[in-house]
Amino acid sequence: MRSSRVDRAQGSAVGVVGRAVATTPEQGSAVVEFVFLAVLLMVPAAYLVLTVGAVQGGAYAVVGAADQAAKVYVLQAEEGAALQAADQAMEMAIADMGFDAAKSTLTISCDGSCLTPGVTVRAHVSLRVGLPLVTGIPGVNLSAATVESAATQKVGRFK
């Protein structure tokens, strides 16, 4: 059985073995330091995870938007209606993933006359992905990345 006594004259605890154990006024500060360092390190790590998730979500959005825009474009009978339908499909696909369609662009390119049977139509969509938690601040226009995707469809012989 171990016991210790406090030598009040020297201000230290003396164990049975005879070693002095110093008492300091900083006892219990390890918890405070741990919490401070955990917050200091975890906040940037959590923000990095949010940013990577937003960029990945944007990548999924442009892949779907380009695919749908190309598919809708080749199904139309005239070029003006085809461009309008493709733009609407792109905006809907971007908005479905929670992004602002105003930050996206659609470009349609063709090998020849765009709606001629057998022609390949290429839809290219790009989207600026904003930084999480910063896009709501008025006057701040920061982006994490611009993601792009392209899809190709062939105009069918029989419409």
Quote the tokens at residue 158: 């029989």
Better-scored residue on pLDDT, 53 or 135: 53
pTM (global) more than 0.85: no
| 132, pLDDT greater than 80 | yes
**pLDDT tens-digit series, residues 17-62:** 556 556 666 666 777 888 888 888 899 999 999 999 999 999 999 9
**pLDDT tens-digit series, residues 83-108:** 999 999 999 999 999 999 999 999 99
| 15, pLDDT greater than 80 | no
Query: Which has the closest alpha carbon to 132: 43, 38, 52?
Result: 52
Mapped to the 3 state alphabet, what secondary structure does the chain carry? CCCEEEECCCCEEEECCCCEEECCCCCCHHHHHHHHHHHHHHHHHHHHHHHHHHHHHHHHHHHHHHHHHHHHHHHCCCHHHHHHHHHHHHHHHHHHCCCCHHHEEEEEEECCCCCCCCCEEEEEEEEEEECCCCCCCCCCCCEEEEEEEEEEEECCCCC
With beta carbons less than 8 A apart as the criterion, state whether 114 and 79 touch.
Answer: yes
CA 42, CA 40: separation in Å to the nearest integer? 6
pLDDT of 10 reads: 52
pLDDT of 112 reads: 79
Query: Which has the closest alpha carbon to 107: 71, 70, 76, 64?
Result: 70
CA 106, CA 2: separation in Å to the nearest integer? 79
Query: Biggest alpha carbon distance in the chain?
Result: 104
pLDDT of 33 reads: 81
| 140, pLDDT greater than 60 | yes
| 9, pLDDT greater than 80 | no
